[in-house]
Amino acid sequence: MELTREKDIDPSPLEGRKVAVLGFGNQGKAQALNLKDSGIEIVVGLRGSSLNRAVAQELGLKVADLADATASADVVMMLSPDEILGDLYREVEPHLQQGAALGFSHGLAVHFGLVAPRDDLDVFLIAPKGPGTALRSLYKAGKGMIALWAVAQDRTGSARAIALAYGRAIGCARAGLIASSFEEEAVADLFNENAVVWGGVPELLRAGFETLVEAGISPEIAYMECVGELKLIAELIDARGIAGMREAISNTAEFGAMLGGPAIIGPEVRQRMKTVLQSVRSGEFARALRAEAQGDYPKLKAARKAARSQPMEDVFARLDSMTRD
């Protein structure tokens, strides 16, 4: 694995150049503010109707329409939802300068063909491995969030240098920039979201909670056991790795985990993970995401509503109001 740190990165490829950040949501806001604080000249590109215009301006950022921001920039960062990046790219492509650099924070749109970048452009990826809020708070604390980087097109010979300088300017190189590819980043990230931390874990927590409640355990105790301890194990794994986490818990917990873990995550779960991986790799997931956006997100809206009406959400609200300072 090739990991590059701040001290080994030349910041000059961004000096005297202008960056347009298209989008001011989770990543757009954090990256724009980090770039500004790193002394980079930036403009935030937004739709005319955007309510984020006022927010960005209040934070001291220059704001322009998508076309004008794009036309004025040497580096254009595509920080809007992945599933609409194809439409956004088609809108701004005529305004991109010859030989400009086009950046992404996820490999999906380019790898799965939603965006087919013009031939004269440099195309790079800086994918911070965490949410924008943490990217910003780490930067302000003098730290950074690890990120993957890659180059899909190098037409000027500077794509690599620009990608690394960009990763440095948003603070990620303080933690480290890991060399990857658009394909590897997209597949690994989507697989994790579908099957592991964001898809698998919440379903495991819910199944555990419901099993205990159905067996007569009080919902509050079931919630505290099955959901409330997640933060503790996450912190232990983060600090010590999985083996170190095991050594930090009681023999009882460790023995139970040794017997129960493989019994729950057996061969059939691993087989289903392979099926999910196949759906990611084949582009089936990316196509479904695109169709979801074209239909105005019917499945996502229904899933959000269903999640809110789960009994465990009431338990969370009760426990939260009782235990918060």
Ligand X SMILES: NC(=O)c1ccc[n+]([C@@H]2O[C@H](COP(=O)([O-])OP(=O)(O)OC[C@H]3O[C@@H](n4cnc5c(N)ncnc54)[C@H](OP(=O)(O)O)[C@@H]3O)[C@@H](O)[C@H]2O)c1
| Span 74-103, contacts to ligand X by CB under 6 A | 79-82, 84, 87-88
Provide the minimum distance between the beta carbon of 179 and ligand X in the complex, in angstroms, as a whole number.
Answer: 17
- Residue choice 4, 20, 27, 103 for contact with ligand X (CB under 6 A): 27
Chain residue whose CB lies nearest ligand X = 25
Q: Is the CB of 50 or the CB of 158 nearer to ligand X?
A: 50
Tell me the closest approach of the beta carbon of residue 309 to ligand X, in angstroms. 24
Tell me which amino acid residue 224 is.
M
Contact status: 23 vs ligand X (CB under 6 A): yes
- Burial of residue 66 (number of CB atoms within 10 Å: 0-12, 13-18, 19+): buried
CB of 222 vs ligand X, minimal distance in Å: 30
Label residue 108 exposed, middle or buried (CB < 10 Å: 0-12, 13-18, 19+): buried
Only one residue has tokens 């989507």, namely 190
Location of structure tokens 């305004």:
95
Contact flags string 32-71 toward ligand X, x per CB under 6 A: --------------xx--x-x-------------------
Which residue, 84 or 257, is less far from ligand X as judged by CB?
84
Closest CB 167 distance from ligand X, rounded Å = 13
Distance CA 173, CA 287 (A): 33
Contact between 280 and ligand X per CB under 6 A: no
Tell me, by CB under 6 A, how many residues bind ligand X: 23
Nearer to ligand X, 14 or 135 (CB): 135
- Contact between 186 and ligand X per CB under 6 A: no
* Alpha-helix residue ranges (DSSP H) falling in 131-249: 132-140, 159-169, 182-195, 200-214, 219-223, 230-247
Tokens 């590109």, located at residue: 45
Beta carbon of residue 272, minimum distance to ligand X (angstroms, whole number): 24
Residues contacting 208, CB < 8 A, separation 6+? 222, 225, 226
136 or 245, CB closer to ligand X?
Answer: 136
106 touches ligand X (CB under 6 A): yes
| SS3 label, residue 125 | strand
d(CA 325, CA 64) in angstroms, rounded, equals: 42
Using the rule CB under 6 A, give the single segment among 21-29, 149-157, 220-228, 251-259 that binds ligand X.
21-29
Span of 18-26, 152-160, 164-172, 173-181 interacting with ligand X by CB under 6 A? 18-26
Q: Which of 94, 113, 131, 241 binds ligand X (CB under 6 A)?
A: 131
- 25 phi and psi, to 5 degrees? -105, -135
Here the tokens at position 2 are 């090739």
Residues with a known catalytic role: 106
Report residue 158 as tokens: 């500077």
Give 294's contacts (C-beta < 8 A, 6+ positions apart): none
CB contact at 8 A, 172 and 164: no
The answer to whether residue 171 forms part of the interface with ligand X (CB under 6 A) is no
Residues lying near ligand X in the complex (CB under 6 A) are found at: 23-28, 46-47, 50, 52, 79-82, 84, 87-88, 105-106, 127-128, 131-132
